[in-house]
Amino acid sequence: MQRSATLLLMALVSATASAAQIKRGDTATAVFGDEATLKVFMSATAITAHRLHHRARDADEDLLSSYARGSAAPVSTSQASQLRKLFSNPRSYTWSHVPDEHGLVSQKACLPDFGVLLTFRGADHFIQIALCFECDLFAVFVGDSTDPRRVNKEEDFDLIRTQLIEIVRSLFPHDEQIQKLQLRKT
């Protein structure tokens, strides 16, 4: 337990130090890691969604290999357009990992349990966005290996929760857990 707490503290310090290099509103860097990854995301030609389920309770929540995937659900052109607008818009984020004018940052004290994975495929690139609706956090991964590289610093999607739930409800109409998601947290 102490080792986990130490690792978590080191990750938070590292994220805060990395975020200090990012300016508020810099979606390319904070959300996608760089401009090239944002371009791949924006130009992806095939988009799918998967339900994610933890393989084991003690698995690392931040690794996609810790999750089993359900069958793929195709994302329509209009849904893909909505997702691109939401994730590329600087106003979609609270910028909690980027220092404010006083140098302060805030972070959620929860570990995500990703439930939906969105995969954006380009010519030979994969951008994957994992969503946790328990704490409204997301992770952006580059690559299609079992353990792709995580690239995002900004990870809160509180401001776009409602829109994301509406999209995933339409993607998984027969999934009870998805259908029961509340549009707003109480």
Domain that holds residue 118: 2-179
Are 131 and 157 within 8 A, CB to CB?
Answer: yes
What are the structure tokens assigned to 24, written together?
């508020």
Q: Does any domain span residue 13?
A: yes
pLDDT of residue 62: 65
Nearest one of 41, 43, 126, 135 to 96, comparing CA atoms: 135
Q: Does any domain span residue 186?
A: no
Distance CA 70, CA 22 (A): 35
Q: Does any domain span residue 104?
A: yes
Per-residue tens of pLDDT for the chain, all 186 residues: 444 444 444 444 444 434 446 677 788 999 999 999 999 999 999 999 999 998 766 655 567 888 999 999 999 999 999 999 999 999 998 887 766 667 776 777 788 899 999 999 988 889 999 999 999 999 999 998 878 999 998 899 999 999 999 999 999 999 999 999 999 876
Please tell me the pTM assigned to this model. 0.83
Residue that has been written with the tokens 């793929």 in this structure: 72
Are 22 and 96 within 8 A, CB to CB?
Answer: no
Domain count for the chain: 1
